[in-house]
Structures are given as structure tokens and as C-alpha cells.
A = this chain, B = another copy of it.
Amino acid sequence: MRKAKVLAGNQLFEIDFSGAEGGRTGDGETLAQAAYRALRVDIIRGVRPPGERLRIEKLKTIYGIGPTPLREALQKLSSDRLVVTEGNRGFTVAPLDPTEFHDLNMARTAVEKETLRLSIANGGNDWEAKVVAVSYIMKKEDQALMAARDGVPDSWEQANAAFHAAMVAACGSRWLLKIRTDLHDLCERYRRASVYQKLGTRDLQSEHQAISEAVLDRDAEGACVLTEQHFKLTAAALSDQTADPAS
């Protein structure tokens, strides 16, 4: 709790600043946690490119945080497999390896399908309503994306994440959802790196709509097939680009 004691008139007031923060450091949050979040988004968003060496001295000046919290954050990130560390050789942003992505995408697809099946089996009315809601947003964002010229807006990324998250939200296992989210974040780094040139050739709006329709129809296997295809197209676009720099 961030408190302050203020003497006014003859009275001593205690003021609680919780939630009044400008949204930068966060209250009651450890510097290590702040460093973790900041580094995490920077790595996923590509601000810290794959393979970059993460020297404590540099990070110290960049983030304005001491070495100890930074080390703790880097350790956690290495658990997430977003940074790699070896012996006494410091930390590095995990490299992007097409083989690794193939593996990762396979795992992600498998988990996504399983959560989808469970979610369709267990979901109630409130879940259905949420699916309808995110589908509505997704449709608008997909249309905006087709018109967009310069890259992919962050709002589309968020909508896409929320869309797929909503489909599986009712799966009933917090653990499966956590694993799914982790894999999603890991994949996002690969996607951000290169996919977006090929977006024009896909009809994302139709893909998303077909998925949400199958979900609302409680057609588990149909939804799984569509989602698998959806992921596969993204993965293929990435593979083409990394393996085929000539064409």
C-alpha cells in the first residue's frame, strides 16, 4: 500500500494512493515483477530481437532498475523459454528457429484443440454470449485489417487473442488455459517477426466466422479442424518466408 501521512489544520490524515498511479510502475508491485513484465512484452513484441545479448549493465540503464531485480526477471523469462542462459555466459533473447516453431505450433495446436473440445462440451449460456461478443469485435477488426496498409494494428492483435481465448474459455481447466496462453505468447513472437506480408492472401474474416459458428453449433470436431487449419495457414506463411527467401 502506497500511503502518505499529511498534516492539515490540526489533523493527521493518511492518504492511500492505491490505483491513483499513472499506470507506469504499479503499486505494491516488486521491481522484479515490473522488470519481468516489461522485458516480456519487449521480447514478444520484438523490441528486443531474437539473439540479442541481454547485458545487465545495459538493461540497468534502459529500464532504470538495479541488477538484482533484473536477474530475477531474466531467470523467470528463461523458465518461460523466452530467454536462454548458459553457465556463466549471461542471458540472450531466445533465437527464432523454424524447427522450433514447427514443434511449438504442433504443441499449441494440440492443446488448443483439447481445450476447444472441453470448452464446447462444458460451456454455458454466459460463455456463448461471450463468444458472440468477441466474434462481433473480431469481424470489425478483420475488416479494418483488410483496409489497413501499414502493418497490423495492436487492436487487431488483441482482438485475435481475445477471440481465440473466448472459444476455449469454458474448458474447465485453469492449467490447460495457462499452458495455452504460454504457447500462444511464444508463437506470437514468431508471427510478429514475419507473417504479415501474406495476410492479403487470406480471408481471415471467413476463417474466424467459420470457427465461431462451429463453436456455437457445438460442433467440436468441426471447430477443431477449422482451428487446426487456421493455425496451419499462419505457420505455412511463416515457413515459406523463412525457408524461401528467393521467391
User: Which residues of A pack against B, CB within 8 Å?
Assistant: 28-30, 32, 68, 71-73, 75-76, 78-80, 87-88, 103-104, 106-107, 110-111, 114, 118, 172-176, 179, 183
Contact = CB atoms under 8 A, between A and B. Distances in A.
Copies of this chain in the oligomer: 2
A188 to B, nearest CB: 15
Contacts of A110: 111, 114, 118, 173, 176
B75 A106 contact: no
Given A72-B71, A72-B72, A75-B72, A179 B179 contact: yes
Contacts of A104: 175
Interface of A (DSSP majority class): helix
B106 A172 contact: yes
Contacts of A87: 28-30
Given A29-B87, A30-B88, A107 B175 contact: yes
Contacts of A183: 175
Given A72-B71, A76-B79, A107 B29 contact: no
A32 B175 contact: no
Contacts of A78: 76
A235 to B, nearest CB: 13
A103 B29 contact: no
A175 B103 contact: yes
Nearest to A67: B68
Nearest to A32: B75
B29 A179 contact: no
A176 B107 contact: yes
28 contacts: A28-B87, A28-B88, A30-B87, A30-B88, A32-B75, A72-B72, A75-B75, A75-B76, A76-B76, A76-B79, A79-B79, A79-B80, A103-B172, A103-B174, A106-B172, A106-B173, A106-B176, A107-B173, A107-B175, A107-B176, A107-B179, A110-B176, A111-B111, A111-B114, A111-B179, A114-B114, A175-B183, A179-B179
